């Protein structure tokens, strides 16, 4: 059974100009026609709006606005993934790969790697 992420990704893919998408009738095609900068600008805007909604929710208790803005952010992230020929499944696979790996352990391992790389450079 396909998920909403798969179905949306499929619709978004069909909106690419190369697949017959029409900027006159489709918001997504319009974004593709504008290109990288317009898509990335939307991600920045939607991320900021999500942060602002979350901050406001702590004051006015309107958690629904957080959901609404987060949906906008996820949606535009799907458009960005399609622009780079990536799929939501690949993001889910990356999350699955990280399953059970503590963020703190991963961070410590990354620091060790950086330290080792710096040591190697010093001795080169
Ligand atoms: N899920 C969405 C979706 N979520 C948000 N949006 C649009 O994203 C935009 C969000 O931008 P803002 O909140 O900043 O509002 P705005 O001021 O209108 O935006 P801009 O003028 O800056 O573009 C709005 O125009 C929303 O309508 C979406 N547009 C489309 N979809 C899905 O994508 C499908 C294909 O859409 P079309 O390509 O338009 O047919 C649709 O059937 C939906 O399933």
Domain residue ranges in the chain? 2-85, 86-123
Residue 124's pLDDT is what? 77
Residue 81's pLDDT is what? 98
Q: How close is the Cα of 27 to the center of ligand 1, in Å?
A: 6
Does the pTM of the predicted model rise above 0.95? no
CATH superfamily of 2-85: MazG-like (1.10.287.1080)
Taking only the tens place, the pLDDT of each residue in 104-113 is 988 888 888 8
Cβ partners under 8 Å of residue 5, min gap 6? 78, 88, 89, 92
Give the span between the Cα atoms of 103 and 116, in whole angstroms.
Answer: 20
Q: How close is the Cα of 25 to the center of ligand 1, in Å?
A: 12
Is the minimum distance from the CB of 69 to ligand 1 under 6 angstroms? no
Percent of the chain with pLDDT over 70: 99
Q: What is the ipTM of this complex?
A: 0.93
| Mean pLDDT, range 19-29, rounded to an integer | 98
Q: Which residue has the tokens 């803005």?
A: 69
């Amino acid at each position: 059974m396909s998920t909403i992420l798969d179905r949306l990704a499929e619709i978004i893919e069909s909106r690419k100009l190369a697949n017959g998408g029409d900027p006159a009738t489709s918001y997504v095609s319009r974004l593709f026609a504008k290109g990288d900068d317009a898509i990335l600008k939307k991600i920045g805007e939607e991320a900021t709006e999500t942060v602002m909604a979350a901050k406001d929710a702590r004051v006015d208790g309107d958690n629904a606005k957080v959901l609404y803005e987060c949906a906008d952010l996820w949606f535009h992230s799907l458009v960005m993934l399609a622009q780079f020929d990536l799929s939501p499944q690949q993001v889910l696979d990356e999350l699955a790969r990280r399953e059970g790996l503590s963020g703190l352990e991963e961070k410590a391992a990354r620091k060790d790697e950086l330290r080792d790389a710096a040591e190697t450079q010093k001795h080169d």
